[in-house]
Amino acid sequence: MKNTFIRFLLATLAITIFSCSPEDGEDGTNGIDGIDGTNGADGTSNGLGIIAFSADVTNEEAASIIAENAGKNTHTIIVTNTTNLTTLDVSSISNLVILNVFNNEKLQSISLSNLESIIESATINSNPVLENINFENLKTSLGNFSISNNNMLNTINLNNIIDAQRISISNNMALENIDLPLLSKVGLLTISNQENLTNLTFPNLMEISSFSFSNNDMIEEFSLPESITTDPENLGSFSINGNQALKTIVLTNISNAGRISIGSNPNLTSLILDDLVSANSSIRITSNILLNTVSFASLQNTLSIDISRNEALASINFDALQQVNSTISIIDNAALQALSFPLLTLVGDEFRGRITMRDNDLLNTISFPNLETLGQISSSSIDIRANTLESIDLNKLAVVTDFRLFSTTTLTTANLSSIQDFDSISLSRLASTEIDGLITRLVNITPLLTGKRISLRGTASSQAITDIETLRTNGNTISIRD
């Protein structure tokens, strides 16, 4: 809101200054009424507020218009749908509110070499033969700075930009290099659909709120400087998706984030975010077919976790995780053998809590040794389908609405020693000792269980069969089969 007010105020002042200039006198000569000028004031002009070019304006005509009409009152430049203009050179302007350059058939070069700040927005879009953009002295952009759909663009000079609210560079097919050597702070940085981009650098970036890096086919590494921090008052999303050649992601020193999405990067092999402590939205790691290691060694809390369709993923590290405020979903990771959340105590909020794990073909061990709360008031569920599962530890979990566990192999260890309140439990392929232990636990709960649904698969001892009849007598529905 503050930035919006400042932009509006500055734009208004620019127009007001121009519209409130002293009334023009008669054209003077020899400095009598003017100073050999044409305006009768001082022989100079502070410029028009808005300068616009379109249609068949030529380079010479544009240069003349700029020379006569650009000045300190000029706040907006619009160049659109020109058919003859090849060069736009505005060296007399140091500050602008708005710059729009789009759909110019023959435009090859844009130079605002003395421009230092853009207050509202700069949009350079859909100029089919544009090759060069020069903003060599631009230091600040308070709004949206967008360069997109310029198929021949090969050079962008933003060598002195320090502070930007939003930078978006996308769909410029010939662009191979993006260098932002002095950029220190940016709100949102978007680099997308740059099919020939091989180099992206911002070595002095100190603060960022959000970034999106997607569908860049050639670049092999995405990294942020080690000195970088995030703005705790404005945590956005970190998104890295669909980058065909990307092998390495380096995000050291990122301790806080909003949403994290890493997906469909077919050559990515390792994802290490060991400095991340908190993510206040979701973490999604999906469809990275060569990814074998995921580590969030310092992460303590997040909203939700979705790790799915990573065919080579063998290792996941959430050793410090204590709280997930909604759901955990681990699905279709064919190489994953073990999952452990050693410090996790809470999954869910007052509305729901859910854990889903399925189609992880080699998963044999699941451990939540300190999980105490799954959902806080309303429904909660655990749905685990793992054909090779042998061991599960939910030692401290007391309450769950719906618990379903399916495995085609015999589950030799099922630590459910604290379970006492639920609507339904369905467990398949339990070892006899585990069935006996569970039934003994359930029949001795006080107050007595009633109205519960229990489905088990395995062989029960004679004592367990007796206890099952007691549970049925108390009003529970129980089925057991070999």
Check residue 46 and give its pLDDT. Answer: 86
Q: What average pLDDT does the segment 358-376 reach?
A: 95
Coil, helix or strand for 437? helix
Going by C-alpha positions, the residue among 130, 191, 184 that lies closest to residue 162 is 184
Mean pLDDT for all residues in the chain: 90
- pLDDT, greater one: 8 or 339: 339
- List 365's β-bridge partners, or say none: 338, 391
- pLDDT, greater one: 463 or 252: 463
Going by C-alpha positions, the residue among 225, 242, 147 that lies closest to residue 185 is 225
Tokens 């001082």 found at: 42
Check residue 39 and give its pLDDT. Answer: 40
Coil, helix or strand for 256? strand
The answer to whether 79 and 100 are in contact (CB under 8 A) is yes
**Confidence band for 37, pLDDT divided at 50, 70 and 90:** very low
Give the span between the Cα atoms of 338 and 317, in whole angstroms: 10
* pLDDT at position 10 over 60: no
Q: What average pLDDT does the segment 328-347 reach?
A: 98
Least confident of 11-15, 86-90, 252-256, 419-423: 11-15
List, in sequence order, the alpha helices (H) in 199-346: none
Distances (CA, A) of 331 to 100, 285, 306, 328, 378: 46, 11, 8, 10, 24
Check residue 253 and give its pLDDT. Answer: 84
Q: pLDDT tens digits, residue range 112-139?
A: 999 999 999 999 999 999 999 999 999 9
140: buried, middle or exposed (CB in 10 Å: 19+, 13-18, 0-12)?
Answer: middle
Check the CA dihedral 36-40-41-45 and report its sign.
Answer: negative
Within a 10 A sphere around the Cβ of 450, how many other Cβ atoms? 10
**Confidence band for 25, pLDDT divided at 50, 70 and 90:** very low
Q: What average pLDDT does the segment 43-57 reach?
A: 87
Q: pLDDT tens digits, residue range 139-169?
A: 999 999 999 999 999 999 999 999 999 999 9
Check residue 234 and give its pLDDT. Answer: 80
Q: pLDDT tens digits, residue range 185-197?
A: 999 999 999 999 9
Residues in CB range of 462: below 8 A, 6 or more apart: none
Going by C-alpha positions, the residue among 12, 9, 13, 42 that lies closest to residue 25 is 42
* pLDDT at position 64 over 60: yes
AA letter at 334: A
Give the span between the Cα atoms of 77 and 109, in whole angstroms: 15
Give the span between the Cα atoms of 357 and 366, in whole angstroms: 10
Give the span between the Cα atoms of 370 and 326, in whole angstroms: 17
* pLDDT at position 8 over 60: no
- pLDDT, greater one: 482 or 266: 266
Percentage above 70 pLDDT, the chain = 90
Distances (CA, A) of 220 to 176, 269, 312, 415: 13, 11, 19, 44
Percentage above 90 pLDDT, the chain = 84
Give the span between the Cα atoms of 349 and 308, in whole angstroms: 23
DSSP state of 91: -
402 φ/ψ angles, rounded to the nearest 5 degrees: -135, 120
Check residue 231 and give its pLDDT. Answer: 77
5: buried, middle or exposed (CB in 10 Å: 19+, 13-18, 0-12)?
Answer: exposed
Check residue 45 and give its pLDDT. Answer: 67
* pLDDT at position 6 over 60: no
Q: pLDDT tens digits, residue range 434-481?
A: 999 999 999 999 999 999 999 999 999 999 999 999 999 999 999 999
* pLDDT at position 40 over 70: no
Give the containing element (helix H, strand E) for 147.
Answer: strand 140-148
DSSP state of 227: T
Tokens 């459910």 found at: 416
